[in-house]
Structure 1
Amino acid sequence: MRRSLRSLPVLAVPLVAALMMVLTAPAPATADRVVVGGHPARTVEAPWTAAVASRALFGGKRSGQFCGAAVVSPTTVLTAAHCLSRAVLGMDWRQVRDLRVIIGRNDLRKSDGMEYPLVRVWVNPAYEADNRAGDIAVLTLGVTVPAAYTVPMAAGRGDPAYRPGVRAAVYGWGDTGGGGEYASTLHAATVRVLADTVCRTAYPGNAEGDYQPRSMVCAGLPDGGRDACQGDSGGPLVAQGRLVGLVSWGSGCGVAGRPGVYTRISAVAGLVAAHG
């Protein structure tokens, strides 16, 4: 996906955590993207924005954060399947003993907010790294969080929040410039939901990616400049007060003609209900 967990290639790959559009040929992206062209945000304004972390694998400087996530119920958190892949973690996710979800921590260098252990992890077995379809994982918390920390999911494909041109915001702690400058504090960028025809033109199934409208949605600006990036993978795309997507992949960060691609929440709602 475009934004990958670590510092994978640039976007035609998933964008992993918040650590992580036409110039020449942009390198494929990974799961790490950060918010490019954005502005500082606060978790109090978007309390459902969470970080997926492991200090054992990624160190303690930024609380071990490697991906983003969205809290959709008092015990259910969503992130990207590619965030928990061997390519990102270097091992099977079941071997990561300190996997945590951090909620309410604006500055990853600090210790406020809460760190929640997981009692269950479900990674979509149908996720295909080659075409990036089905990029969803469901994390179940061992402790209930207040309902105020959750964001409702888009009701369905016909939800007006998916209309082309609707303003949306993407949140994360990823790369803020596309050059490896990862943010310690939460950032957000305002983008627009784009028509499937625009997304399909950008990613027609060539080396830069294959946009599949049934399971994906894309967002950005015509001239680029605002986007998720490395380290933002799994983070939320919110429009009209509802979660419409999770940062998944793209080509480059904020490049004109190469919008960010997100897992379409309406396409995976049934999986969330079954495994949340």
Structure 2
Amino acid sequence: MIGRMTGAATRGLLVALLIATPALLLPGADAESSQITVLLAFVAAILTFLEYNSRQPSIVEFRDAPPFNRLRFISLLFTIVVLSLIARGQVTPTLLTGALASLGTILGNALDFPYSPVRLVVLMMPADAPYESVNLIRTAAGLAYLVSLIALATFVVLVRVMGWPARHGAFNVWVNLPLFDPTAGGDVLYRLQRDARINIALGFLLPFIIPAVVKATADLLDPISLSNPQTMIWTISAWAFLPASMIMRGIAMGRVAEMIHDKRRRAYAEAHMQAA
């Protein structure tokens, strides 16, 4: 019990640190935004602690199948830290922020080709946006997209080469997929495969859909101001992280379906041998 509580508290503190990172690294944060950040970090920490301190799962998927959630957390934290340092370098440049900005510029220019997700993010900016702001968005988008691709490739290696999640022992569907109801009707295997395909398809499409939707609604609603550093950091991080996270979830559910299929096949083979 103490070990579970300690682990839950550590996870809660890490989530709070993730949310507070932009406010901690960016200079000149106003008091109102700092108070909102502290409140959000506190609420997120409490919810994370309650989730991981409970024996019964609630909403967090693959809770007992590391390193699925750890990989997603590390990739998001790394993205936010890097983008925060780049934004900080616009005000107080250092050798580290300059190196990250140079790397991001190279990646952004390499990924900024017609119809690419990075190009669509750049096109979200107003036509009269300053060149420095456009270049900063391109740099941030290039770095964030690369981090998401690395996280996705790492997870594919874990699944296909290292045999995740079977190498950690028995896989409990109820604990690791609390939002999936096996008794909802229909074959569990078919539903898992269907959900896996939907998540992977949406994950591939979201980097293209999100900028297009933002651009299309800019005339009807107040457009997102990416000139604010914290808004830019969270917007670009979400744009890169959410699609990769959905693809990883789709791959994970496909892997679970594959494990169920293999178990059924072995059970049918054993039953056939016993009948013979």
**Relative to total residues, which structure has the larger strand share, 1 or 2?**
1
Both proteins in one fold, TM over 0.5 = no
Compare CA radii of gyration and give the structure with the larger one. Answer: 2
**Relative to total residues, which structure has the larger helix share, 1 or 2?**
2
TM-score category, normalised to shorter length: under 0.3
